[in-house]
Structures are given as C-alpha cells and as structure tokens.
Structure 1
Amino acid sequence: MTTFSELGLSDLTIQALSRKGFEEPTPIQIKTIPAVLAGESDIVAQAQTGTGKTAAFGLPLLELLEQDARKVQALVLAPTRELAIQVAEEINSLRGGRTVSVTPIYGGQSMEIQLRNLRRGVSVVVGTPGRVLDHLRRGTLDLSSIRFLILDEADEMLNMGFLEDVTEIMEQTAADKRTMLFSATMPPEILRVAKKYMGDYQVIRAASEQLTATQTDQIYFEVSAADKFEALCRIIDMEEDFYGLVFTRTKVDADAVSQRLMERGYDADTLHGDMSQSLREKILAKFKKRLARILVATDVAARGIDVHDLTHVINFDLPHDPEAYVHRVGRTGRAGKEGIAITFITPSEYRRLQFISKQAKTDIRKARLPKVSDVIQMKKERIRAELAAIVATEPELEFLGMAQELLEQSKPRETLAALLQHMFQEELDASNYREIEDAFVVDKKGKTRLFVTQGRKDGLTPKRLLTFLDENCRIPSRKVWDIQIMETFAFVSLPFQEAEKVLSMFNRKGKDGGFVFTKAKGRPTPPPVRK
C-alpha cells in the first residue's frame, strides 16, 4: 500500500492530511503528485470525477508556491461555481500552517467582495471562465506572471461552451508557466488545446476500474447526521446474526462509533490506518473468528479485508466517490450469497448518492427505517424461537423437578411471565432506543417543498428553474434539490431559509415571468435512485 509520505510530500502536508483523516492516496494522486513535484513538464491527466483530482494537483501546488507572496501564482479554472467553491475549500483545508491564500471568483458572488480579496493579494485564484474573463477585462486580475495554470474538468468546460473563453484566458497567462489539464475524457478538442497551448506534456492516466456492484441488495435510509448512530443500532438489532462492516469517512469517526457501540454492549472493534500492521492483523483475525461481529473501518480497510459470509456492509458515512462505494459494497454478497449494503444519507447528500448510483451502474433503493416497535417485535419473536428450541432439547430432570415445584407454588402464567421479565426486561425496554425524527421535517436546518405554477407546457425545464433561482434569488444550484417538472406545474425543494426568501419575493401572480411559488402539501419524497 502506497502512503502519502512516499509521494515526496512534506511533514507539514502529511500532518494536514492526517487531520482531515486521509489515509492512503488514490491512483491519480499516486501518479500525479510525484510528477508535479519532480518534473518541469506540463501534465495532461485523465481520471474520472470523484477520484481525488483536487488533492492530486492541490497538494504539490501548495508545496511549490511561495509563501507570503502577495501576487497570483496559480489559477485554477473550473466549469461551475459549485466546483470552484469546492476546489477552493479543499485547497484551503490542505494548507496546514502555510501562509498561502486561496479565493474563489465566480458569477453570482458580489464583485466587490472579489475585488477586495484580489486587492489584498492572493496566491491561488479558483474561478469560472466567465468571471475570470470579467476581471481580466477590468484589469483587476493579472495573470502575466503566474507559475501554474490548472484546467479542472476540462471536458465539462468544453461541453458547456467555454472553449473560446478558456483559450482567451490561456493567451493572457505567463509563457513559462506550468499547465495541468485534468479531464474525465479526452475528446479531440481537448488534445488540440493541449498541443496548441501547452509545451512538452506528460500524459497520466489513472487505471479506471469497471465500476460494478456485486450481487448485493443495496438500500439507503435518509436520516439526520445526529440520528445515524441510533439508526445503526436498529439495523444491527433487526438482524438475528449480524456480522458486518461499518464504514466511516475518517479514523476519528471510526473510533467514536466503535466506542459507542461497545458502550451499548455490542461486540465491536475498529480498524484504520493509524494502527500498526501487527495490531491490524490481530484485530482482523479476531473479526474473522467472529469474536467481534462488528468492525468499524475507514476506506483503508476496504481493499484489504477478505472476510467471507458478511451479512451487512453499512456506509455510516457516504463515501467520497463511486470507486470507494463499490469497494465497500464488494465486501459482502460473495460466493453466491446475497448480502445487504446499507447507506445512511442526509437529505443534502441525495444528489451525490444519485451520482454514485449512476457511475456504479447499480440500483440503490430507498427503504423505511425500522421503528422501535419493529425492533421490539423482532426480539420477541427470537425469544419465542429460542425457548421453543430449548424445549425441543428435552431439559434435564433436575430442571423438570424445579419447574414442577414452582408450578405447584404459584400460577403457571404468572411464573412464566416473571421468568421472562427477569431475563428479558432490559432487552425489551423500548426506552433503550431514541426516537428518530423524519429527515424531512421542515425546520431551519431542513428543507421546504415548493409548488411552482409553471410546467412543461410553459417551457419550464430544470435548467431554466435553476437559472431563475440563481439570478433572482442568489440561490446556487447545489442548494436546489429534487426538481420535478410536470405538464402544468412543478415541484422543487430548498433549504428552509432559501425557501422563505423565494416565497417572500415571488408569491404574486404575473411577477417575473409568471412564476408563483407556494408551499407544497406533504413532504418531499425523492424517487428511487436508479441507474
């Protein structure tokens, strides 16, 4: 297993990665980071979305930039404002203690804020082509001395019609810069850009696996982040012989979940990259012998665990990318047996789940989380079955004699009830479980479903609705969820505060193209995730 420290990164960067819980590099990071650190050539890298491309160029970029420099040293171009914000936040989170400033610039954000940040001096600008061009034409952004230019999701920029904007920007950058182009696909237009505007470039391709999930029943539950642990306990208790892996995003979360499980009396253990090899082998051997029936692990374990007959794989946290999902799910449903893979998502993660489902070419069906009464009823049925099995073994004469004495001294029904209460009262106590609120309850942290008085016959499309909300209400598309366009009307879900803004601004007929928004009846229920 390759580690981040083997890629030539500094201790400062390794510490930043450790704080974020990153444990092993992805294939594109393994190939790209050393090439950027060691070489002088430009780079054309092909890798699918969600494979860690931001860290692949962001980590070596931070190593090579001058600190405390009040000038733009690197420009990252991204096709959408959402990606620009995401990339800027990711690079910022990897800085460690470095005095390197990163700022996103994109349409829809206050120009004054961007001008103020640029005047203050920034090291890395992450921007959309249109807004970068605005600043270049205003003379508020100088790219004549940048050292690095990164084109992220180059094929998407091409598909969105940004080719002319991108080439105009490239022509205004320093001639001796290093250029890195990242793209999921390599159409001829991308290669023509590389040949025309890049010097000698090195082509890097991450080996892409055919993403296919195993013969596993894949389910997702929508719960709030605070209710995930309670949901996990219900799933475990509904299974008569639970034997499974629980995946968390970071090692800190893995330790926390495992500790809480053990405090509740479950046979649980933890596995992550901070452990020595000997300790990991010891924990894994214990799990294989079923001395621990629940193993809480990070993704570092997904590629290395070879355990048969798992009943469940549970994604306590939604993985970052489709590959991680497939590797996790692949731990169950082996040797011709059907396993169960369960994923917990919050409402805001629904879109990412759709993306994972599409890329993994699999169906992930929505299911109802077991109620407390369901769990208690299941436990009662097990107790009945266990008692029937005990009776079938014909108890020893000593116990038959004691039973006869008890029945002679008290009523049979009350005697049996007392024994059951003594043995199982705590296990059957419903107060052991906490109520789980509907993830779609409308509160300030939830979402509101809106009814729109236009539909397909009015020319309404998801893109038009997204554009309308962005331009008129400053609501970015990442906050818009579950658009459904009908013939004469539509539905859309928004965070509570954004929904209130829309309702206050556009609830009068005839205003702004005839749009009228009202609160929809019922709760937003997304359609099943399909490939």
Structure 2
Amino acid sequence: MKSFEALGLSKGLVESVQQIGFEIPTPIQEKAIPILLKGNRDFVGLAQTGTGKTAAFGLPLLELIDADSRNTQALVLAPTRELGLQITSDLENFTEKFKPFNIVAVYGGSSISEQIRKVKRGAQIIVATPGRLIDLIDRKAINLSTIQYVVLDEADEMLNMGFKEDLDKILSFTPDTKSTWLFSATMPREVKSIMKNYMSDPYELTVGEQNTGNVNIEHHYVMVQEKDKYLALKRILDDNPEIFGLIFCRTRIDTQRIAEMLMKDGYNADALHGDLTQQQRDRVMLKFRNRSLQILVATDVAARGIDVEDISHVIHMNMPDEMEFYTHRSGRTARAGKKGISIAMISRRELGRVKQLEKTLKSPFKRMMVPTGPQVCQKQLIALMHKVREVKVNEEEIGEFLPAVYEELKDLTKQELIKRFASIEFNRFLDYYRNAPDLNLDDRKASDSDGDRYVTGSRFFINLGKMDGLDAGSMLSFIEDVSGVNRKSIGKMELKGAYSFFEVEKDKADLLLSEFKGGVEFKGRQVRVEMTERRNSGPRKESSSRDFKRGRTSGSTFKGSKTTEQKRRRY
C-alpha cells in the first residue's frame, strides 16, 4: 500500500495529513488522488460512507488551487450544513503546513451578510449547501464564472433531498470548461442523469462492489412489537454501558419525543432535527463531538454529514423507507477502518425488508435478542467493577481523608464491603428489571394481534412526491398531522416524482378526506387528495384539496386543523 507522499502530493500536504493522524491512504484515496491531481478530467467516485472521500477530493483540490489568486476556483456542494462545515474544517486542517487559503462555508441558518462579506474578501474555495448558494446567486453576491472545479459530495443524498433543480441552476452558472468531481455512496438513476447531463467522459472509480455495505459494520436486528420498542431500546442501551451512539427516527416529532423520554429516564441523550435553530444544532453537535453527550437521537436529514469518530452503535427505531437511507445511517459508525454495530428494531412483517437489505448489501444480518433483566443487571455490575479497577487514585489528595473512611468501615469484611459497594448502583437496575418480561417476538407468522398489522384499506392519490423534497417519513408525518389519522392506520406508500399513493384503513377514509378540505399551499402547489381504486383503475370522484403554505422537507411536522378557526390559519 502506498504512502500519501507516493501519491504525488506536496510535502506540506503530506505533513498536514500526518499531523492529523493519517498514515496510510484508504483505498478510495489511494486510487482517486493520482487521477484527480491531473486536474483535466471529470470524475465519478463510488465508495461507502466513512471511507475517506473528503481527503480523496480535498487533497488534490488544494494541490491544484492557486493560493495567490483571489478568484473563486473551486466549489464543493454538500447536502447539509453539518457536512459542509465538516468538509470546511477538514480542508483547513489539510492546509495547516501547506499554503494559506481562504475557504468559506456557505449554509443556511447563519448570517448571510457575514457569509457574503467573507466571499467578497476573496474565497478560493467555497463549500456550500445548495439552498444558501442559490440565495447568494440570486443576490448576485457570488461569481461562479471563474470556477475550475466543482465537487458534488454525497450526490445521492442531495438528490434524495430534492436538490435536483437547485443543482441544475447552480451548475448553469459555472463554466463549461470546469472539471466536475462527483462522489457518492450509491448510484441511483438521478446520479446517472447528472453524469449524462453535466459530465464529459468521466473517469469512473468504484471502491468495493456497488450497493455493498461497509464490511466493518456488524448488522443486527431485534424483533419486537411497536409498543415495546422504547423498552427494548432502554435494555439495549443498559446492556452497552460504554455506548457512544446514534439513534435514528423517521420524524422530528418522534426524534424529540424519544430524546426527551431518554433524558427523563436518566440517559445522557439529546435530539438533532430540523426544528432546532442553528445555534441549538451547533451546541448539540459540539457536545456530541466532545463526548459530553453519549447518545444522539436524530432524523435522517439532520444526521447526514455527521462525521464523528468512534461512534460504536447506530440504532434504527424504524426501518428507513429507502435502502440508501439505511446505508447512510449505518455508515455513521465503522468509519476510517474501525468496527461498528448497526441495530434495526423491526416487527415481524418487516423481516422481509431485512432479508432484501441483506441481499443488496451482501452483508449478513444477525438476529439479536433483546437482553433480559438479569442479563442487563450483570452487564451493569461488571461495568461498575471495571470502573473501580480503572479509576485513577489521587494518592496525595485523598490520603488525609482515608483514616476516617477506614474507621467508618472497620467492622466490614472485604466480601461485605464489595457487596455493599456494588449494591449502591446495582439495586437501581435490580429494582427496575425485577420481573421484567421478555420483549422478543417469536418467529411465527405475523398476525393482527401483534400490534404491527400491515394496513390495507382505501387507497389514495396525493399530488406530492419526491420532487417536493418529501420522503416516506415526512409524507407520513404530513398525512398524520393534517388529517389526524394515526400513522398506524396508514399503510403501504408509493412515492413517485410529482405524486404518490398511500393506503388508509377504510374506517378512517372519510375522516382523512374531510380534514384535507381547505386552502393551503405547499411550495406554491395546491395539494390534491383523491380516493382511487386499486392500482391503475383511476381516481374516484371523492376528493379533497388542501394548500400547504410551508415547504418543509424530510422529517417535517405538519399541524392539521380541527376547527373552522384553525382551518383559516395560514402555515
């Protein structure tokens, strides 16, 4: 395996990456850097999340940029502000012993005037999220005509999040002579479309097989009833005292609810979702990076771009609706060649989806049993004893207090002292888990009594889809909160580009239609809901429309209306 120096990088760049702690290039870095250093060809790199793609494009980019010119020469586009800030930080670290560059991060949720000032001061490299960059373009505050290199990082995620039109607009302002480098974990149809429309004979590099998972991730699943998921989650956390993990939920509401329940129950947890201000998000992420926060509960969108070292576990409270989402979720662990564990919490009817994932990722999924009460108690007790063994004793400062301690405990034997000390912590878990039931479902076929029934009923058409920035999770929240129909009554969902289909229990159909009457816009489009026959038999006459004013994206919460006065409310 080659060293960074052997890849053709300058001495300063090599010293910078070595100072960070990189000694040997990852496979994507080893193969991509020599090609990108030539700077004369479009490039497509496919590699799983956590394999070092930022250095793979960042190091050659810094090598090619003219640090003496004030012109903006490189544009890096990222799907989220977290990933954009992480890329900016990495690029700045790479230049520590190299050349001085002005690298500017442009993203929503922060002062646009301050970002404009930094750009106009002369930014050789701009790292941007599409939405904020469009704002700067519309204000004529940024000049992309001098761009020589465009990097699309996590391209599949940008398209999943509905940024295709933004990408089209942004790329139209860049010169035809630029080189475009595209990095992605998966290769959906939309990414191939970008290659066709904006790239000329790109060099294609795939590290590992397409659609395969990170081999360093152990994939597990637990099979429990929906109502038992939170109890099962607590047992998994208690069974892993040293966990440093991410918990994924579909919606912002679920994310906040799970985080608040965990905090109330004494866990060191917090939430990350789109309803937080940028200041709140930054504070949560700082705590997580510093490990003063042990568990982060997040939505898919909010967690994209999180690059935190040594995440031990990723737990999925719900199976994601797209295979790519599972890839990106689980890819938050086992980064930079380290090991990690991904645990999906499923019902019986979702077992088929696990088997499909297993085939697609070419990685085995092992069933993991939810720990019993005695197993958790034993694990906690051993963890406590380990802390006792490893604790650092300050002999000098504690010495003067020890005689009083010895006097207080003089009538206890060694065995009695150990038992009493262990019981201080152990009794709490013992009291909680005494007579705790088995939460694991058996392997028999699913039935309605499981509480995880697969909903079939009335089928509806809605004129919203992926082009509106919605995924199945946010569409589910939209339908639930506008109509008041509980998500357990909402069944199979098919998301298309400009429209979608979903099923609702028959006795909830009239309620759904009545609640979708009104006038609110969603991204300027009037929402139309119609009951349809099965498959392609066309819509029925019964229909309802409701304009939805706010154009929120994945994980959004949508407040429905229950009274005439509330229905007049503009969102």
| Range into which the TM-score falls when normalised by the shorter chain | 0.3 to 0.5
Question: What TM-score, normalized by structure 2, do the two folds share?
Answer: 0.44
Larger C-alpha radius of gyration, 1 or 2? 1
Normalising by structure 1, report the TM-score.
0.47
